[in-house]
Each structure stands twice: as C-alpha cells, then as structure tokens.
Amino acid sequence: MTDDGNETEVRLVTESGNECLPQFFVETEFIFLTGMIRKASKEKIDPLAVKMKVPSGNAAVERFFGTAVTPADHNGIIFSNIDLEKPFITYNEAMWDYFEPELSRRLAQLDADDSVSARVRSALTELMPGGACTIEAVAEKLGMSKRTLQRKLSEENTTFQKRLNSTREMLAVHYIRNTDMTTNDIAYLLGYQELNSFLRAFSAWTGKSITEYKEEMLRTSD
C-alpha cells in the first residue's frame, strides 16, 4: 500500500511478487474492498483508478467501480485520501480507545507468527486460486523439500492436509459471508476439481449445507 498524501494505492501481490494472480481473483478482491468501504461509510465511494494485469473487459464490473479498468504492469486500486478518511458509520471513539490496546497486542502477535503452519497458510492462500494446492507446490514456494515441510509441520503437531482443510474452510466462510460469488466459483477458487467435493467438505466443516449456512447468517443479521 502506498500513500502520496492525496491518494492511496492498494496493490495485490504474492509473497515473492513473481506469480501471476488469476484475473478473477484480483477482480473479486477489488470488488470486495470497494464494497466494504461503501458499506462501512454508507457512501457511494468510487476508486480513482483500477489497474489490472489482465482486465476482463466486463462492463458490469466497470459500472460497479464507476471507472474503467485499465491494463497495467501490476494489480492496483487507487482511492482518494479524502474518501478514505471518512468515518465508518459505526465509529465510536470511546469504544475504540477501550479496544485499541488489545487489538494492537494481537496484531503484534500475528506479525510475530513465523511458524511453518502460518507460512503454509499464506502460501496456500496465494496458490489455491490457480489450482496449485499440493504439498509439492507449497514446499517449492517455501523453498524447502516436501520431506522437510512434512517434518516441520509434524514438529508443530499438524499435517499439510490439516492446514489445507483449515485454509479452505477459512476462505470458504470469507467468500460466503462477504461476496456474492456462486458456489461453483468458490469451489474453483479453493482448488476443488468437483463441486460435490466442496459441498461435502463444507458440510463436514460446519455441520450445515451452504444453503443452511446462508439462511442462518441472514437470520442472525436481522
């Protein structure tokens, strides 16, 4: 994220900066970010510019952003700092003063989490949309052999399969709660070759079908 005083650009990159992110993933993340800003501020805030390495040319997407998506050498979305400084509708200074110290402490703990499990989760989050969710792909990204990765995860009392399932569950819930993506699209982003495999996995994680999960989510939000 870069800030020149008047504008702030958020760039979507991988850990190494070398991998090419799927166009659909980039589009979805920028739509989610813009939608979140609008919902939080209750204002129709449009980005100043949207840049993608591989623009889809989808007119509906450009109408959502309120600006054209232009080709560039990186994936970035730019907002006016004036817009970004608008308060959330739920802003409460007294409550923020109460929670901020604990939030800062927990963020510091996250920054300090250099466990192999955390690195595997980070790698999977980047690789999964491209279908590369094998232990071999993750080991290569982390610069170690498959055997070494297995040993290090074992030392942390976990396995690659457990990390894969946990990451998929986390992202599935995120996509369902925060986007309008179809079940097929979510399954694709999570690296599933068959939709039924994703549906069975989601039911095992939550004890509910996706339809039941969405209905319960709607009830609790009312």
Q: What per-residue confidence (pLDDT) applies to 220?
A: 77
pTM score: 0.52
pLDDT value, residue 95: 54
Instruction: Please tell me the number of Cα atoms within 13 Å of 147 on its side-chain side.
Output: 0
The predicted structure's pLDDT at residue 21: 80
Is 113-221 CATH 1.10.10.60? yes
Q: What residues does CATH 1.10.10.60 cover in the chain?
A: 113-221
Predicted pLDDT of residue 201: 94
Q: What is the pLDDT along the chain (222 residues), one digit of tens a residue?
A: 888 889 999 998 876 666 778 888 888 889 988 988 888 888 889 999 999 998 888 888 899 999 999 999 999 999 999 998 887 776 566 655 655 665 566 555 555 556 888 888 888 887 887 677 899 999 988 888 999 999 999 999 999 999 999 989 988 988 888 878 889 888 888 888 889 999 999 999 999 999 999 888 888 765
